[in-house]
């Protein structure tokens, strides 16, 4: 089984654009509030499932001092995802054809999932479910990477041993946490091509 992070792996993550968009909504400390890997504060509460998307809209509206809409927040969140490389989608299909079970393992939220899990995802009428077999996301698991509980939840649900799993993520702390549990790991670099390394590992390693 192969676990894939979302931002920085499947799509190229652009934190600066997300900061710019939230800043345009009136969030003065957007640079401090937004992370590339694990959110904190109001943003972390959303991604850990402690508050709903509607509660996030209400609390962010209070924070910036004006009424924001759900779509305002969605557009700002989608600043993180400005590019979806076709090569990444192609390799997901190739790995599936090779017989691997492919699973999403992401810190994310309902705003991002409204794009990812929709027919708008790849620009060809397909959602991410056309490429992956299962989706495990932080706000539904109620745990954030790099918490061990995030990975343990997936291992338990999938009824699989850690040594039989490969995990690809662009966050060093996330990769370290998975590795400490015995999961095979690949540290991707946001915006760079990780596909050849993963294909090589999948043909050379028995996991």
Active site residues: 5
Assess contact for 33 and 27: CB atoms under 8 A. Answer: yes
CA–CA separation, 127 and 88 (whole Å): 14
CA–CA separation, 54 and 70 (whole Å): 7
SS3 at position 130: helix
Give the number of other Cβ atoms within 10 Å of residue 67's Cβ. 10
Cα dihedral across residues 145, 147, 150, 155: positive or negative = positive
């Amino acid at each position: 089984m192969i676990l894939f992070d979302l931002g920085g792996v499947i799509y190229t993550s652009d934190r600066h654009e997300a900061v710019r968009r939230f800043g345009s909504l009136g969030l003065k400390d957007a640079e401090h509030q937004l992370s590339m890997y694990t959110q904190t504060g109001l943003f972390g509460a959303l991604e850990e499932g402690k508050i709903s998307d509607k509660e996030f809209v209400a609390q962010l509206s209070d924070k910036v001092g004006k009424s924001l809409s759900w779509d305002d927040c969605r557009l700002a969140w989608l600043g993180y995802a400005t590019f979806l490389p076709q090569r990444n989608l192609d390799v997901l299909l190739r790995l599936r054809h090779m017989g691997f079970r492919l699973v999403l393992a992401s810190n994310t939220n309902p705003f991002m999932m409204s794009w990812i899990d929709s027919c708008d995802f790849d620009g060809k009428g397909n959602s991410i479910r056309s490429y992956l077999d299962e989706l495990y996301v932080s706000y539904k698991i109620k745990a954030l990477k790099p918490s061990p509980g995030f990975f343990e939840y997936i291992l338990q649900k999938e009824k699989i041993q850690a040594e039989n799993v490969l995990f690809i993520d662009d966050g060093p702390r996330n990769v370290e946490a998975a590795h400490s549990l015995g999961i095979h790991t690949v540290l991707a670099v946001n915006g760079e091509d990780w596909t050849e390394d993963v294909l090589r590992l999948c043909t050379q390693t028995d996991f």
